[in-house]
């Protein structure tokens, strides 16, 4: 289902956290991949009525290998889009696209380098591996940073074809992966738990799973943006710390190949590694973005040759709808 926000907005009074309005506004949110636990907070906010409570009726449009939801955003076919990382926001600014990031669901990019157990003693030690399987997309992003920041060698790179077979066959190799995906499937296939080195913990300070929308949407319909962002924040708290059964059922309905074991593994990995709730989010709330963090990552990407130095990175995001401590009361006391 593809919808755009139509008439009736002038009459809409959306005040997140208050009683639901009599009429909800249809909103479509495009994700960047097929339904999975990493999208759980958004599914939660649909399933438990959090979005509806502040006046929007959200349809989630899953992404996939043949889907370009950012193009649909630019064409006005969807209202919000899930960006991969801060780099997507910088790329939009560099290209002069009026796309703005309004929240970051993940404080840490879940990208990892997977190795056989004991192949390395630290992230820095990965420079001694014979080969590392990296995709073409990875070469232009985190791999460029790894070369600049740690001294990885371009000739170490082997093309990643999304198969763990080369890593299984070569104990001195590494492989890119997603924290909650490749390590899980490697263990399922071999019966051995691999080592997974989170690049975020090594200094790669990108936000991930951002929410982006058009600049015109922020200017003309800020109440809708506020509702979606704040609903998503609450959704993530409730998905991680509350009853998430309905959200999981919705994820599996959109992606029948997703197993309960994979979902359980993913949620545990996100919690254990602070993917959603760590750093600034611990005081500012889930979804947090800060100017200092954006500037820091921009500098790293310029140094790595990934982003042009004259890019107006400040135009790529807004903190207008985040950093207010929303939802901290939904987190269980430690």
Same domain, 129 and 187: yes
Same domain, 29 and 97: yes
Last residue of a domain, one of 202, 224, 253: 202
> What is the per-residue pLDDT for 13?
40
Same domain, 281 and 309: yes
pLDDT band per the 50, 70, 90 thresholds, residue 15: very low
What's 83's domain CATH number? 3.40.190.10
Over residues 236-248, the pLDDT tens digits come to 999 999 999 999 9
4 occurs within a structural domain? no
1 occurs within a structural domain? no
> What is the per-residue pLDDT for 17?
41
Same domain, 197 and 211: no
> What is the per-residue pLDDT for 22?
57
Closest C-alpha to 171, from 199, 122, 129, 143: 129
Same domain, 101 and 215: yes
Q: In whole angstroms, what separates CA 178 from the centre of its chain? A: 11
Same domain, 100 and 219: yes
What is the span of the domain harbouring residue 226?
A: 9-107+206-330
290 occurs within a structural domain? yes
Same domain, 244 and 320: yes
262 occurs within a structural domain? yes
> What is the per-residue pLDDT for 330?
97
Q: In what order do the strands lie in the sheet with 173-178?
A: 157-159, 131-134, 173-178, 111-115, 195-198
136 occurs within a structural domain? yes
Last residue of a domain, one of 175, 202, 229: 202
240 occurs within a structural domain? yes
> What is the per-residue pLDDT for 11?
34
Residue 21 has pLDDT above 90, yes or no: no
Over residues 280-300, the pLDDT tens digits come to 999 999 999 999 999 999 999
Q: Which residues contact 56 (CB under 8 A, 6 or more apart)?
A: 14, 24, 25, 26, 27, 224, 227, 228, 231
162 occurs within a structural domain? yes
Over residues 42-95, the pLDDT tens digits come to 999 999 999 999 999 999 999 998 889 999 999 999 999 999 999 999 999 999
Same domain, 134 and 264: no
90 occurs within a structural domain? yes
Same domain, 77 and 167: no
Number of folded domains that form the chain: 2
Same domain, 274 and 136: no
Over residues 32-42, the pLDDT tens digits come to 999 999 999 99
Per-residue tokens: 329 = 């009361």
Over residues 178-193, the pLDDT tens digits come to 999 999 999 999 999 9
Q: Which residues pair with 211 in a beta bridge?
A: 82, 103
Q: What span, in angstroms and rounded, lies between the C-alpha atoms of 317 and 301?
A: 16
Same domain, 181 and 210: no
Last residue of a domain, one of 144, 175, 202: 202
Same domain, 219 and 237: yes
Q: Is the pTM for the entire model greater than 0.85?
A: yes
- Label residue 256 left, alpha or beta by phi (over 0 means left) and psi (-120 to 50 means alpha): alpha
Q: In whole angstroms, what separates CA 221 from the centre of its chain? A: 24
Closest C-alpha to 130, from 173, 176, 188: 173
Task: For the chain, report the end-to-end CA distance as a whole number of angstroms.
Answer: 41
Q: How many CA atoms lie within 13 A of 206 on its CB side?
A: 23
Closest C-alpha to 272, from 188, 179, 205, 194: 179
């Amino acid at each position: 289902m593809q919808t755009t926000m139509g008439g009736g907005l002038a009459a809409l009074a959306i005040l997140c956290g208050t009683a639901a309005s009599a009429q909800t506004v249809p909103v479509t949110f495009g994700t960047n991949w097929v339904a999975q636990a990493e999208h759980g907070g958004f599914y939660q906010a649909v399933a438990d009525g959090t979005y509806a409570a502040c006046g929007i009726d959200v349809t989630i449009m899953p992404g996939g290998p043949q889907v370009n939801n950012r193009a649909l955003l630019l064409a006005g076919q969807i209202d919000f889009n899930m960006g991969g990382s801060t780099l997507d926001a910088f790329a939009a600014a560099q290209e002069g696209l009026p796309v703005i990031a309004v929240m970051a669901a993940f404080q840490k990019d879940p990208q990892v380098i997977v190795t056989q157990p004991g192949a390395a003693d630290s992230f820095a030690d990965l420079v001694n591996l014979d080969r590392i399987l990296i995709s073409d997309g990875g070469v232009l992003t985190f791999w460029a940073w790894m070369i600049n920041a740690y001294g990885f060698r371009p000739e170490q790179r082997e093309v990643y074809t999304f198969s763990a077979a080369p890593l299984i066959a070569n104990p001195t190799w590494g492989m890119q992966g997603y924290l909650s995906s490749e390590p899980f499937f490697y263990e399922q296939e071999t019966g051995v738990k691999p080592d997974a080195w989170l690049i975020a913990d090594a200094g790669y300070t990108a936000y991930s799973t951002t929410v982006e929308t058009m600049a015109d949407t922020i200017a003309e319909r800020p109440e809708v943006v506020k509702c979606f962002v704040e609903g998503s924040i609450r959704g993530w708290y409730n998905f991680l710390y509350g009853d998430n059964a309905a959200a999981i059922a919705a994820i599996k309905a959109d992606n029948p190949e997703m197993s309960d074991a994979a979902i359980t593994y993913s949620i545990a990995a996100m919690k254990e590694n602070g993917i959603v709730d760590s750093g600034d989010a611990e005081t500012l709330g889930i979804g947090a973005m800060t100017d200092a963090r954006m500037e820091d990552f921009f500098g790293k990407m310029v140094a790595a040759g990934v982003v042009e130095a004259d890019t107006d990175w400040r135009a790529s995001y807004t903190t207008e709808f985040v950093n207010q401590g929303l939802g901290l009361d939904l987190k269980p006391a430690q």
